[in-house]
Amino acid sequence: MAAAAFFSIAFVFLCCLYITQGQLAVDCCLKVSGTEIPKRIVRGYIRQTGGQGCDISAVVFITMKNRRLCAPPGASWVNELISYLQEKRYGCIQNKFKVNETLENSSICQNEYET
């Protein structure tokens, strides 16, 4: 009887441990900055949606040095920077350059003849 109780408790403990360890850590912006980011240092962006693992909505700009800068999604300068990156990406595709796909919405072009 004691062995059955022990195994039942151990089973419940292991199930709880499995469930809590199975959740992925999400890299979220905790706050946004209103400081404008210069175009020359940005290579791409990612949209963070509040309520999908993160507390706030933000646009995360990725710099050439791989830093993540969090910006408010409704700011006019943010929308202008996103448009700039999208135009730059479209220009890469139009000129038959390969777009670096390692980052969603990247604006880094590579000549398709480069190795």
For the whole model, what pTM was predicted? Answer: 0.65
Instruction: Compute the distance between CA of residue 115 and CA of residue 112 in angstroms, rounded to an integer.
Output: 8
Domains belonging to the chain, first-starting first, are 27-111 (2.40.50.40)
Q: Which one is predicted more confidently, 31 or 3? A: 31
Q: How many CB atoms lie within 10 A of CB 14?
A: 10
Q: What is the pLDDT of residue 103?
A: 52
* Mean pLDDT (whole number) for 76-85: 95
Cα angle: 5, vertex 9, 10; to 5 degrees:
115
Report the percentage of the chain scoring pLDDT > 70.
59
Instruction: Compute the distance between CA of residue 65 and CA of residue 55 in angstroms, rounded to an integer.
Output: 26
Structure tokens at 86: 């999208």
User: Has residue 31 got a pLDDT over 60?
Assistant: yes
Lowest-pLDDT range of 37-41, 49-53, 57-61, 107-111: 107-111
Instruction: Compute the distance between CA of residue 96 and CA of residue 105 in angstroms, rounded to an integer.
Output: 17
